[in-house]
Chains A and B, each alone.
Chain A
Amino acid sequence: MSSIITRRGLLTGAVVGGAGLLAGCDKVANDPSLRKILFSGEKMNMGLQRALMNRDALAPEFRPDQMSPIFRTNGTRNPNTPDYNAMLADRFGDWRLQVGGLVTRPLSLSLAQIRTIPARTQITRHDCVEGWSAIGKWHGPMLGTILKAAGLRSDARYIVFTCADLFGGTNYYESIDLIDAFHPQTILAWAMNNAVLDVGHGAPLRLRVERQLGYKHAKYVMRIDAVASLAGIGKGKGGYWEDNVDYDWYAGI
């Protein structure tokens, strides 16, 4: 029996086959219709997670003594554009958060106004898509409070964030759906670790979406728009990384 397939033959076959399979995986990822199957995992994981999770299920919150000694920065560490540098020099005195799109009352809010909105404080874990985690304390109004003030129209489905930092000449952008937008821990943080939010972590305002990975937490937020579809945003997948390197739009896992 074993003479039909020799041990050496089988080993060679396994190694060649293994290498072939690995190369085959790369072919699959480049074929449009197979790519669709490969990318279908995102919808399945999102459906399963949403089914297992209460709409308002809270991400774990931690005690002050559990916070990371140093919370590293990532992505853009300083937008360093002339506009941003001017706003920073002015300590964001003339900066305004624009809230528009499918809303009945578009808003233009100063940082001072945002600081008067009742705020939530939460010590949460930030999980980067790369695998590391850092725990920090975030403070700011719930996104839901601001969206309610602006009055979402009934056809609004997604909230899009446009940021001051540039990636390849384009402003960073991200989007979430209304379930995450109205989640109690989804806040627009203007303070972190008991201090005013610094440039490295997204001054003057950054989004916290605690049940998703770090790239969803847009920093340097300038505009918030309610939209009916992501089709008209960037290349249509809902975010800078989603559009340009195929990150999942749903980053709950």
Chain B
Amino acid sequence: MDDAPLSPEAEAAHPPARVIYRHRLATRLWHWVNAVAIFILLGSGLMIFNAHPHLYWGIYGANYDHAWLTLPQWPGWLTIPANYNLAIARRWHLLFALVFAFGLLLFMTASLINRHFQRDLRVRGAELKPRNLRHDLLEHIALRFHDPKDPRAFNIFQKLSYVLVIFLLIPLMILTGLTMSPAMNAAWPWLLDLFGGRQSARSIHFIVAAALTGFTVVHLALVIIAGSWNEVRSMITGRWTVPEDEA
């Protein structure tokens, strides 16, 4: 990683100005579309969950079957809509599920073309060596998130969490969501084999939603710690100021 050359424009932007172009348009657009979609999907998802707050493993599951998890009702201030309304919650959920799924598809296509994935998210073998992991972890704990020599690059923990979210968690949300659709079961029966049945898919859908919520909380916390204004602005304009203490 150390010997990876900087791109010419990054190098040119470096020494004089401490502002670099960090986030491409596709990344910024997807980020904000997704922020709205995830917010709505979580709120409406919790309302839908309230209609039957039990989770099962396997191909079937209803009141007389063994539920591995039963939760109390989610409060109205967390759900969309705030009152109990399964029909309207489903309208929100199933419209924004389309935004979420096609948004990912478009972002992935754009990020292959603009080489965001290859340049910024590719995990190199050397980065996974214990020495580098320990180094980046210590830096992370010290709240130094950027390599002063290459401030644009993500550290290994950033890379791994973005790779996990983009290539595993969000696709899992979409596929387990589709697996709950009786029509999709007729169209793509392999979905049921992949997740071990509709009720397993529903359980996985819930667990991954919790994981994405956890990611979002950590993400927001780190944005605040790293300097909220600079980070938020960089996701709007693309331009990011290299923190002075790391320059």
Contact = CB atoms under 8 A, between A and B. Distances in A.
A127 B186 contact: no
A213 interface: yes
Given A53-B186, A133-B59, A2 B95 contact: no
B59 A211 contact: no
A196 interface: no
Contact of B52 (A4, A44, A131): A131
Interface string B74-117: 00011111100111101110111110000000000000000000
Interface stretch (B26-34, B160-168, B225-233): B225-233
Given A53-B183, A131-B49, A252-B181, A125 B60 contact: yes
Nearest to A44: B98
Contacts of A49: 181, 183-184, 187
B199 interface: yes
B143 interface: no
Nearest to A70: B64
Contacts of B51: 129-131
B220 interface: yes
A5 interface: yes
Query: Interface of chain B, helix or strand or loop or mixed?
Result: helix
B151 interface: no
A21 B39 CA distance: 9
Given A22-B82, A42-B94, A14 B182 contact: no
Contact of B94 (A1, A60, A134, A253): A253
Interface string B50-75: 01101010011111110000000000
A19 interface: yes
B20 to A, nearest CB: 15
Contacts of A52: 184, 187-188
A60 B224 contact: no
A69 B52 contact: no
Contacts of B96: 41
A58 B186 CA distance: 5
Given A62-B59, A129-B86, A213 B95 contact: no
A226 B230 CA distance: 63
B90 A212 contact: no
Contacts of A248: 87, 90-91, 94
A130 B182 contact: no
A5 B43 contact: no
Contact of A127 (B85, B182, B187): B182
B98 A132 contact: no
A54 B60 CA distance: 25
Interface string B140-156: 00000000000000000
Nearest to A67: B60
A7 B192 contact: no
Contacts of A135: 59-60
Interface string A211-228: 111000000000000000
A248 B192 CA distance: 24
Nearest to A213: B182
A70 B185 CA distance: 23
A11 B228 CA distance: 10
A161 to B, nearest CB: 18
Contacts of B183: 49, 53, 211-212, 252-253
B28 to A, nearest CB: 19
Contacts of B187: 49, 52-54, 57
A38 interface: yes
Nearest to A11: B224
Given A52-B188, A245-B87, A45 B224 contact: no
B209 interface: no
Contact of B182 (A5, A29, A241, A252): A252
Contacts of A18: 39
Contacts of A37: 95
Leading 10 A-B pairs by shortest Cβ distance: A252-B183, A41-B95, A53-B187, A253-B181, A132-B62, A131-B52, A70-B64, A130-B51, A130-B52, A57-B186
Given A131-B51, A253-B182, A253-B183, 10 more contacts: A1-B241, A7-B228, A26-B82, A60-B186, A60-B192, A62-B59, A66-B60, A68-B60, A72-B62, A131-B52
9 contacts: A1-B229, A5-B229, A37-B95, A42-B91, A53-B187, A125-B59, A133-B59, A133-B199, A211-B186
